[in-house]
Amino acid sequence: MSVLNNKLAALVVLSASVLGFSSQAVAENYKQLLNMCIACHGVDGSNKFDSIPNLKGQNAAYMVGQLKNFKADKRQDKTMSKVAKLLTEEQMQAMADYFNTGKEQD
């Protein structure tokens, strides 16, 4: 796991333990969520599809704002409108932070 993955995983686990959730369950949830995002946007946030935005290095606050817009139906996309409705604000922030850094492939 890269340094960034370790930091994000630690943040998620710490947050979960404060809230009383199982750290293993939270880590598994984080991994599933990240894999869902990576499937379209790419491991480091860049992809080869013109119809899918590159997220690598994108401003994290902007990404969270756009995810909130999808969730509130203020912005529409066949896929992202559905995905955003599944996310908590904490998950939105974790994914935005991940792609903001432009994670290098392991």
Residue 35 lies in a domain: yes
> What is the CATH classification number for the domain harbouring 7?
1.10.760.10
For residue 4, the model assigns a pLDDT of 52
For residue 105, the model assigns a pLDDT of 43
pLDDT tens-digit readout, 18-42: 455 556 666 678 888 999 999 999 9
Residue 71 lies in a domain: yes
Cβ atoms 96, 41 nearer than 8 A: no
Helices (H), the chain: 3-19, 23-41, 60-71, 80-86, 89-100
Residue 105 lies in a domain: no
Residue 106 lies in a domain: no
For residue 17, the model assigns a pLDDT of 47
Residue 15 lies in a domain: yes
Residue 83 lies in a domain: yes
Instruction: Work out the burial of residue 96: count CB atoms within 10 Å of its CB; fewer than 13 is exposed, 13-18 middle, 19 or more buried.
Output: buried
Q: Which residues of the chain have pLDDT under 70?
A: 1-27, 103-106
Q: Which range marks the domain in which residue 80 is found? A: 3-100
Structural domains of the chain, count = 1
